Amino acid sequence: MVTKRTRATAADHEPATASIRYEDSSVCAVEFGQLRRGSFNGSVPWRRVRSAKGHRHHPGEYASATTRGLVVYESRLELARLLLADFDQQVVGIFAQPCRLRARVGGRWRLHVPDFLLVLADGNVRVVNVKPAERLEDPKIAEALAWPGELIEGHGWQYEIWSGADPVVLANVRFLAAYRRAGVVPDEDIARAWEVVRDGDPLTVAERRLAVGRPVEDVRPAVLALVWSGRLSLDLSRPIDGDSVLRRPA
């Protein structure tokens, strides 16, 4: 029996690449093995986000406290993941649609644009794809998300497929996000709240001590701004209310 050999071509050995678009409209294709988190400095989203009448998704731009700029998203589910990333004190950089991956998988070339790339304070990088849980049951979608994960994790980066979070946690983070931007609450109010609030204070107790004759509504934003920034914490697994216990870092 004679087995016919197929001749390997140069394309078969061509390495995977990540194409990155920059603010000056230039595009750079980086061999994936040479990709670094600094490769994304000055980059812009790979695709332009558009909305249209009758569109099932709800794209938009989110004013991020982490980036101090606008970050695009293409669905409400992506916005939810973006909120959690912005709240996460370990996340120091956020890039939406950071690049277009190109790799040879199963004998053919595949393309993929991840939803987010998160730069972490410890120097690591996490690439995130957002997809509703019910769609992950589709074998084609599961396979389309699997090969980028193998490529990314083989590079030493983290890979995440995200389908949602505890709705109570998400509602709390969405509420706290109102206090995320510098200047929304005066710095002097935040500084005073940091001095006055004690570890273990219920929110209402901290507010009364801080108010000193003022309406508690006037001092609440300063306390919540401290929670957003991570200087104070509380249990986000239950709705935030007056009984929520504030904690200072150990």
| Domains by residue range for the chain, with CATH | 10-162 (3.40.1350.10), 167-229 (no CATH)
- Strand 108-112 to strand 100-105: parallel, antiparallel, or no bridges (unpaired)? antiparallel
Beta-carbon neighbour count of residue 201 at 10 Å? 21
Q: Is the pTM of this model over 0.85?
A: yes
190 phi, psi to nearest 5 deg: -65, -40
Strands 125-130 and 158-162: parallel
Is the separation of the CB atoms in 17 and 102 below 8 Å?
Answer: yes
Alpha-carbon distance of 20 to 18, in angstroms, equals: 6
Strand partners, 95: 117
Residue 221 corresponds to which tokens in the numbers above? 């934003």
Structure tokens at 176: 């706290």
Q: Output the pLDDT for position 75.
A: 95
Amino acid in the structure at residue 58: H
Are the C-beta atoms of residues 97 and 111 closer than 8 Å to each other? no
Q: What's the rounded Cα separation, in Å, for the pair 117 and 97?
A: 8
Which residue from 227, 217, 215, 216 is spatially nearest to 190, judged by alpha carbons?
227
The answer to whether the beta carbons of residues 108 and 76 sit under 8 Å apart is: no
The HSE-up count of residue 148 (CA atoms within 13 Å, CB side) is: 25
pLDDT at position 174, please?
Answer: 98
Residue ranges in the chain whose pLDDT is less than 70: 1-13, 50-57
Residue given tokens 């929110």 in the structure block:
203
